[in-house]
Amino acid sequence: MLHRVNLASCLVLWITSCAITLAVDPNDYMARALQLMSETPLIDGHNDLPWQLRSQFNNQLNKVDLNTLANTHTNIPKIKDGRLGAQFWAAYVPCDTQYKDAVRQTLEQIDVIHRMCQKYPEIFMFASSSQDILKAFNMSKTASLIGVEGGHSLDSSLGTLRTMYQLGVRYLTLTHSCNTPWVDNWLVDTGSEPSEHNGLSSFGKQVIAEMNRLGMLIDLAHVSEEVMNQVLTLSKAPVIFSHSSAYAVCPHKRNVPDDVLRRVNETKGIVMVNFYNDYVTCSNTAKLSDVADHFDHIKKVAGADIIGFGGDYDGVPRLPEGLEDVSKVPNLVAELLRRGWTDEEVKAALGNNLLRVMSEVEKVRDSMSNEIPDDVPIPNEDVQNPCRTSFGYPSTSGSNGSAQSLSTLALLITLVLQAWITSTV
């Protein structure tokens, strides 16, 4: 009798095992990919849909239906098909706004992200912490976080940085493709722009410390290599590259060199791989397998624990065959599995690495809770320009001495030119 019971138990176990194997065949890489994505949130580091809302609709969200929007890489059906668990939406404004209306335009981008979440509450949940991401995932919603792309959006103000944090911003990309009065951008490494600060200025180092105190992720995509290394030394918290790839695979200065990858590993940060063809193959064309090569290289050099996804959808004009829009990301997950990545390595890259980094940044913030905000402003001489007043700074020429001086100089030059033209006629 006992023998029959044991035999029956073994038969049940065998049938159960076969059923599990049939449900997710280890050789059915897409089925395995979708299973893993149902267990761990896919967290993407950078998506420029908010900029598409501005450039196409001037942020008039009432005129847009994200269920049917067809001319972008991202819409609600694509998000669902792509199993997007969490997204850092980029609050990006161009470098042309620097010294002009960058702060206003950035606030409008932050606003449109909030309104997007409010308009589609069944799809998006606004998130500002690692726990919020998990909460949204458990509710089958896409956690929506904000990253400000470019230090020019601060107008060199720590007060603006703090205000943006209060509005929900959880990372700042230190530069876009322009130097600011306190940090050098990646174009310095190409020789097309001069270094103005040898990396970070003294005020730039204040920005790093204040971001640590606030609990804001420091994003090193777009900065010069000198800035990468300086920040990796200065920051008390792990850093991110929200949308950069491996320089050794594609030697573009927007990508991350191997020595920096190793330092990211040492400091427990993350590099979220960009899908833009120009950063994947250094050419106009690319395939999904080329993107997987970047994942493989970073894993080989610095381990699977520093890798994430940073597609740059809706911010680039060219994407690899097989990764044409947000819905295609499961194809890349399946390719990593086909290449021998373990389930744990894939889950780390999908979202666990970013959750770990964000949790550590939050711990550093909590450990600095007794430190007071830094309210020492950038030196006035570093930011003088005709569009900026100087209220609060010591001045012998009034509250807007620099602008008045420049206006006076312009007037004198005009008068001299007019007199010269008159005398030569």
Report the amino acid identity of residue 202.
S
| Interatomic CA distance for residues 236 and 246, integer angstroms | 24
Of 44, 73, 132, 149, catalytic = 149
* Two structure tokens written together for 297: 């290289």
CA angle 247, 186, 284 (to 5 degrees): 55
How far is residue 365 from each of residues 147, 170, 257, 376, measured CA to CA in Å? 18, 12, 29, 20
| Interatomic CA distance for residues 82 and 36, integer angstroms | 13
| Interatomic CA distance for residues 344 and 186, integer angstroms | 33
Of 73, 152, 197, 243, catalytic = 243
The question of whether 243 is a catalytic residue gets the answer yes
Report the amino acid identity of residue 197.
H
- Is 157 buried (19+), middle (13-18) or exposed (0-12) by CB count in 10 A? middle
3-state secondary structure 257-303: CHHHHHHHHHCCCEEEECCCHHHHCCCCCCEHHHHHHHHHHHHHHHC
Q: Distance between alpha carbon 95 and the CA centroid of its chain, in Å?
A: 17
Contact between 203 and 180 (Cβ < 8 Å): no
Of 132, 152, 155, 176, catalytic = 176
The question of whether 382 is a catalytic residue gets the answer no
The question of whether 297 is a catalytic residue gets the answer no
The question of whether 294 is a catalytic residue gets the answer no
Of 73, 152, 197, 222, catalytic = 222
Q: Beta partners for 149? A: 92, 173
Of 44, 48, 184, 305, catalytic = 48
Contact between 146 and 110 (Cβ < 8 Å): yes
Contact between 189 and 210 (Cβ < 8 Å): no
Of 155, 293, 312, 314, catalytic = 312
| Interatomic CA distance for residues 184 and 182, integer angstroms | 7
The question of whether 189 is a catalytic residue gets the answer no
Q: How many helices (H) and strands (E) does the chain have?
A: 16, 9
Contact between 301 and 248 (Cβ < 8 Å): yes
Sorted by sequence, the CB contacts under 8 Å of residue 2 that are 6+ apart come out as none
Active site residues: 46, 48, 149, 176, 222, 243, 312
